[in-house]
Amino acid sequence: MTLDLQAIRAQFPALTSGLVYFDNPGGTQVPNRVIDRMVDYLVTKNANHEGAFPTSQRSDALVEQAHQAMAEMLNAAPDEIVFGANMTTLTLHLSRSIARELQPGDEIIVTRLDHDANISPWMHVAEDRGCTLRWLDFDVEDCTLRLADLESLLSKRTRLVAVGYASNAVGTINPVERIIELAHQAGAWCIVDAVQYAPHGTIDVRRLDCDFLVVSAYKFFGPHAGVLFGKRDLLERLFPYKVRPAPEAPPGKFETGTGNFEAIAGTLGAVEYLASLGPQTGEATGSLRDPLGLAMESIQDHERHLSRVLINSLQSLPGVRIHGITDPGAIHQRVPTVSFTVAGLHPRNIAAALGEQGVQVWDGNYYAPAVTERLGLEADGGMVRVGLVHYNTVDEIQRLVDTLRPLLGRS
């Protein structure tokens, strides 16, 4: 199925601004459906939870519906879905509970390709509990994990493997299914940071068999909210750091304090939006899973085309070096997040110059300093990051190139 870009872009009010939004890995724009869900919540359902009055009951029903929608998006059960502020906060919260399960001498494996939100929490746990932190490296030539090294890092003392589904810095899609399999063979749990993969592909926690997986709604066209999946038996087992009246059963025992219910409503809207891009059969099954899967297939086809155009266009410019996978035959191994450097030009200056012309890109390390340190780029300001999603177009890529070319000439 081919995406109707004109119809899609018409659903995003921000896209009428004339700006080119290539800052998507840091946060996507939102469609009307998300805005409408949030406004409706604040107008007709705005109340705290578990009240005996109508607005509270409507609020609780909406939150339950959002749990169901996220469960269908991830192929989980609703009571395995925990809402929170963002991926970082949820992971830090979870890490405190997991730390109680660990003993001095236990081992934790992290990767140098990850966002720091899936590294620092485990560094803190290792320091607090006397555990050993081990690092899985990546190949600097194409920014792919050295998977062959993982087996030598795993041992009978390994308790946790933390890995990203896709790199927010260089776009690499990691072989998470194999990593999870190896972790389980060693008797370890595996937590997957799927924040950067969620806007670009189908996630199936049952097929992956991951123990925990975290996403952020504002990276898949929703508001600022985070979502944690955890296997039911593990959520039941782990000790929650919560106030005493809070629920004893998951997911409530990990949803501490009053929830950001309007953001949860917006997250429901984001899942509904993505599902709306899939074929609509007219059958009122109520499930979003099948249309979501078909929609993500169409999104991947479109984004892989955009990736090829972007990489080819950047490679045609003098002095540009792309860090990550560039082989046209390996496009399926990356998301459309492309980072580059230019000899003699600071990434911040490039980003600022593009921003003055309405082309929005990120520069720096994007909270993934392990990547820029390993590439030897941290001291030089990191990289320029161009992050595409399905509402972006080839014309926008051409605008980027046309804006970038004279800047490179002046260098």
| CATH (domain of 317) | 3.90.1150.10
Structure tokens at 149: 């090294």
> Of 228, 245, 274, which one is at a domain's C-terminal end?
274
Amino acid at 407: L
Together in a domain, 333 and 229? no
Together in a domain, 10 and 100? no
Q: What is the pLDDT of residues 66-101, one digit of tens each?
A: 999 999 999 999 999 999 999 999 999 999 999 999
pLDDT for 208:
98
Which residues share a beta bridge with 158?
107
Together in a domain, 351 and 378? yes
pLDDT for 283:
52
- What's the CA gap between 149 and 127, in Å, rounded? 24
Structure tokens at 381: 């300001």
Together in a domain, 350 and 210? no
Together in a domain, 21 and 82? no
Range of the domain at 295: 5-30+288-410
Together in a domain, 110 and 134? yes
Indicate whether 319 belongs to any domain: yes
> Of 251, 274, 297, which one is at a domain's C-terminal end?
274
161: enclosing H helix or E strand: strand 158-164
Comparing 190 with 408, which gets the higher pLDDT? 190
DSSP classification of residue 54: H
List all residues 6 or more positions away from 13 whose beta carbon is below 8 Å from its beta carbon.
32, 35
Give the residue-averaged pLDDT of 146-175.
98
Q: In the structure, what pLDDT confidence band is assigned to residue 263 with cuts at 50, 70 and 90?
A: very high
Together in a domain, 129 and 116? yes
- Chain mean pLDDT for the chain: 96
∠ at Cα 201 (354, 37), nearest 5°?
Answer: 80
pLDDT for 246:
82
Q: What is the pLDDT of residues 341-387, one digit of tens each?
A: 999 999 999 999 999 999 999 999 999 999 999 999 999 999 999 99
- What is the SS3 assignment for 24? helix
- What is the SS3 assignment for 337? strand
Together in a domain, 314 and 224? no
Angle formed by the axes of helices 54-74 and 289-315, to 10°? 60
Indicate whether 10 belongs to any domain: yes
Place of tokens 């929609």: 295
- What's the CA gap between 289 and 66, in Å, rounded? 14
Give the residue-averaged pLDDT of 391-410.
94
> N- to C-terminal Cα distance for the chain?
43
Of residues 146, 156, 204, 213, the one with CA closest to residue 183: 156
Of residues 182, 220, 224, 209, the one with CA closest to residue 75: 209
Indicate whether 91 belongs to any domain: yes
> Of 274, 304, 329, which one is at a domain's C-terminal end?
274
Residue 76: left (phi > 0), alpha (psi -120 to 50), or beta?
beta
Indicate whether 279 belongs to any domain: no
Is-contact 1 298, C-beta < 8 A?
yes
Together in a domain, 229 and 351? no
Give the residue-averaged pLDDT of 244-267.
92
Of residues 189, 163, 202, the one with CA closest to residue 300: 202
Burial letters for 378-387: b for 16+ Cβ neighbours within 10 Å, e otherwise?
beebbbbbbb
Together in a domain, 20 and 43? no
Structure tokens at 115: 């966002």
Of residues 226, 233, 258, the one with CA closest to residue 245: 258
Indicate whether 78 belongs to any domain: yes
- What is the SS3 assignment for 385? strand
Q: Is the peptide bond before 251 cis (omega within 30 degrees of 0)?
A: yes
**CATH no. for residue 246?**
3.40.640.10
Q: Please state, in angstroms and as integers, the Cα–Cα distance from residue 99 to each residue in 161, 181, 231, following that order.
A: 13, 22, 17
Together in a domain, 133 and 253? yes
Indicate whether 123 belongs to any domain: yes
> Is the Cα torsion angle 151, 197, 367, 22 positive or negative in sign?
positive
Indicate whether 280 belongs to any domain: no
Together in a domain, 371 and 258? no
Is-contact 401 407, C-beta < 8 A?
no
How many structural domains compose the chain?
2
Q: What is the pLDDT of residues 302-352, one digit of tens each?
A: 999 999 999 999 999 999 999 999 999 999 999 999 999 999 999 999 999
Indicate whether 124 belongs to any domain: yes
